[in-house]
Amino acid sequence: MRGKNSVIEDVPCEYCYDKLWKLLIDRRMKKKDLRQLTHISPAVIAKMGRREAVNLETLAKICIALKCKLSDLVDIVPRGKPEPC
């Protein structure tokens, strides 16, 4: 049986939300504004800040609210990639 942390270690990639953060800046929005618009929790915003996976439904809510595509929000990069995404 696997421990809770081993699942995270088994994932060979991380999720870069830099595109989302830039989109918010371009639209003069704060993370708080995004939370209020989409009704997502501060914990989900924190997970994205740590480059962790979030539920696809959450990303869909953000896409609908910001009228954008999933590819406008997140990049999937191999874990341990030395250069920024």
Which residues, 6+ apart, have CB-to-CB distance to 19 below 8 Å? 71, 72, 73, 74, 75
pLDDT, residue 68, reads 97
User: Residue 35 burial by CB count (10 A; 0-12/13-18/19+): exposed, middle or buried?
Assistant: middle
Q: Which residues of the chain have pLDDT under 50?
A: 1-3, 6
pLDDT, residue 84, reads 62
pLDDT, residue 78, reads 85
Angle CA(48)–CA(6)–CA(35) in degrees, nearest 5?
15
**pTM of the predicted structure, to 2 decimals:** 0.79
Q: What tokens appear for 67 in the block?
A: 């009228």
